[in-house]
Structure 1
Amino acid sequence: MRINSLVATLMTTGLMTFTAISPSFCLPRVTSQVSLTRKNSILIKKNNPKDSLPNSLFTVGIGGGLIGGLYDGFYPYKSLKEHGNFGLGAPDKLDGEIIVFEGKVYKAQHTGKTVPVEDQDMTSFAMVNFFRAERTLTPPKGLNKTAFFHYLDSVLTNVNGMYAIHIKGKFKTMKTRAFPPVKAHQHTPLAEMLNLQQFFNYKDCQGDLIGYRLPYFMDNTNISGYHFHYLSDQKDNGGHVIDLLTDDIVIEIDTLDSYTIQPPATKDFEHFDFKKNREEDIKSVERGGKN
């Protein structure tokens, strides 16, 4: 199945799972969940036969749809947590950014406050996995975002690989953002709402970055490249990462080898135009501005 026909196929078939074989092709695959626990700051796999199964990314919603204005939540967080304990996303009708960490879900609101979400609340777009660290790295201190991404590129050598990335530690500076709430069925594209973003600057902070590097063949269904959300140690602030300067951090890498997409079952999704090229909009939204 070619990637450029993936969205059209999902519209007619519903939930599907794919194993990444090459940049051009994916094959259907059945996946299961992996159960993990954390002990003494090291991720330990439980004695469970499912641990031998591939590590899979579960995505609810379509990335290009979120960028283009599909903000209404349709998938409860209780169900989302059945597919992963680590990830990020967008809340129902925005009002912030979603962080999934150690099995709990948080919303970094546009007011600057970060709060836990209720299981019955909904997300419009999210991606999660059961995180298990395969590699641990200690990079140099004092890396800005550009240098930090270059460092990650030097160790994540499969340009078409899917990686879940957890960064723990201290940051000299951290800049995050969150979008305000919108009305139901409001479909103003995110790139046209950049002037409504709320930015937050933190100095000498400590916390976690939860994120992914996804390959370009996953564009539109997901969001390719690096994508990180921040959560402070106190769990009281966070958001989408716009800029940073590292201090003393540790990086954990989890290589993913399959992915599942659950498209929205909504009328708005049925009539959404995915043919439009939103590449520039995605870049603008990810970096928090058009420049």
Structure 2
Amino acid sequence: MEMRSFFGSDSTSNYIISNVEVDPSRSPFIEERLQVIYQARSLSDIKDMVKEMNETATTFKVICLNKMDIGDTKKIPHPERRSIEREIGLCIDGEPDLDHPKMIFGLVSIDGYWYFGKYEKSISVWREHLHKPNSYSTALNTRVARAIANIAAPKPEGISVIDPCCGIGTVVIEALSMGIDIVGRDINPLVCIGARENIAYFNLEGTVTKGPISEVTTHYDVAIIDLPYNLYTHITREQQYEIIQHARRIADKAVIVTVDTIDHVIEETGFTITDRCVAKKHLFVRQILLCE
């Protein structure tokens, strides 16, 4: 679902080729990215292209990414990958540096084509957020929270987001760490304090206010509504409807997380469910619904 939000489509394989540029560190599911400079049928053609490359680096490293099966393309054995890296490296203007290169180039073979370009490894920022000063056992895990923030704002420039049932701020923290313009809110004053402490702990700056969603008057592009906290407040369907109805009032779009099937409740508020998936945590099965 995050992939569809980023790229407009998804892939059943372990890679995707797209013209959409996404920072790989934004997603907890993307391991690496190759910004393609050259594409050719043969490795020799790639070598000829690289020799004419204007992109130079004082120090560089070349990595062959076929360390595993990629789609239907079988992995390339380690000795052969090292040989390919050396061959390509000899075509690049610069000084090889395997330890601390200024530039990393990647090379990969997929379905009969070779691709060469700038390589970027994902940094798992979300892992740093696993250990918060305050946490709840039923809160979303950081990986899912980060994906939800991306589903809500895949292109965050100029987009305003609110999490009016933010709890300890798991989603807010992930969103803030990616530069998403988000504010948090919760009806529980102690939870609000915990959320603010969590945000400050990671040296992030964000706003968490106390109060129900019914008191929100500002309009936002997206609302993220996490309903699983109902497990302890025993919220009724009527109260669920009111929260979602207010989300419809204050936002053009919503990402709703629920442990119950509430499609008809959502549709009664005027939202249309345009995408969905399921996330599991221990015994909890959550539905993540994109509503517009």
TM range (shorter): under 0.3
Structure having the higher helix fraction is: 2
TM (norm. structure 1) is 0.22
Q: Which has the higher contact order (CA 8 A, sep 6+)?
A: 1
TM (norm. structure 2) is 0.22
